[in-house]
């Protein structure tokens, strides 16, 4: 792991681990939020969601999106990826895209500043897309169900969600209703600054 703009967690003593619980995530849906752990160990959140089938979970808590305290939901044993609008690592969870992948993507993909409307949520951040991908076509079906948005801010009915992670969230393409995107012209320097 290298210290730099894409890895601001390096300290004077070497690597600083800021996230420790693989599979701990938060799912935002139209009806509220679920805080849970993936039941299957060794699987990333992105890989689990990419299977497009219900995800087995454990230690689930549920509540409204507006920050009201959550309650145990022991009877909730799975969640359907199609019900999730935004998925993100919990504050102590692993990032949805590894530092290595994000570093490679930032060098070989086109950088867009983006605003995505996926009611009742709005996600603002940075997209890293292949040259063949058109950000305006993200509302159409694609091979990837979830799209990573880096350096995100997420709003619920206009109110910011304060526990949004700095590195990235996953937005369900089937929930996207509108995309506004602006391509960056000096991608290398601006990408490093924005993703840090």
The whole-number pLDDT of residue 91 equals 85
Q: What is the pTM of this model?
A: 0.81
Asked, for residue 182, whether it belongs to a domain, the answer is yes
- The verdict on residue 191 lying in a domain is yes
In a domain, 41, yes or no: no
State the pairing for strand pair 84-89/71-72: unpaired
Domain membership flag for residue 11:
no
Please report, for the domain that includes residue 185, its CATH number.
2.30.30.100
Per-residue pLDDT reduced to its tens digit, 152-192 = 999 999 999 888 888 899 999 999 999 999 998 764 444 44
Number of compact structural domains in the chain: 1
Axis-axis angle for helices 99-108, 187-195 (nearest 10) = 150
**Would residue 67 count as lying in a domain?**
no
104-131 residues labelled b (16+ CB within 10 A) or e (exposed):
ebbeebbbbbbebbbebbbbebbbbbee
pLDDT at position 1: 33
Q: Is residue 185 part of a domain?
A: yes
pLDDT for 5 equals 39
- Domain range spanning residue 130? 99-195
**What would the mean pLDDT of 82-102 be, rounded to a whole number?**
87
């Amino acid at each position: 792991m290298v210290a730099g703009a894409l890895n601001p967690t390096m300290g004077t003593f070497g690597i600083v681990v800021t996230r420790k619980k693989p599979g701990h995530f938060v799912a935002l849906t139209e009806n509220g939020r679920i805080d849970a752990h993936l039941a299957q160990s060794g699987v990333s959140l992105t890989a689990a969601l990419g299977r497009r089938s219900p995800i087995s979970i454990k230690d689930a808590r549920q509540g409204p999106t507006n920050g009201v305290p959550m309650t145990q939901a022991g009877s909730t044993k799975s969640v359907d990826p199609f019900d999730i609008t935004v998925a993100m690592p919990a504050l102590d969870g692993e990032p949805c895209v590894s530092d290595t992948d994000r570093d490679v993507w930032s060098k070989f993909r086109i950088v867009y500043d983006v605003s995505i409307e996926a009611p009742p949520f709005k996600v603002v951040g940075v997209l890293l897309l292949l040259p063949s991908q058109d950000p305006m076509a993200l509302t159409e079906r694609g091979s990837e169900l979830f799209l990573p948005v880096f350096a995100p801010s997420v709003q619920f009915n206009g109110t910011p969600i304060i526990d949004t992670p700095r590195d990235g969230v996953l937005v369900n393409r089937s929930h996207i209703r509108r995309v506004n995107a602006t391509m960056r012209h000096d991608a290398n320097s601006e990408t490093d600054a924005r993703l840090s």
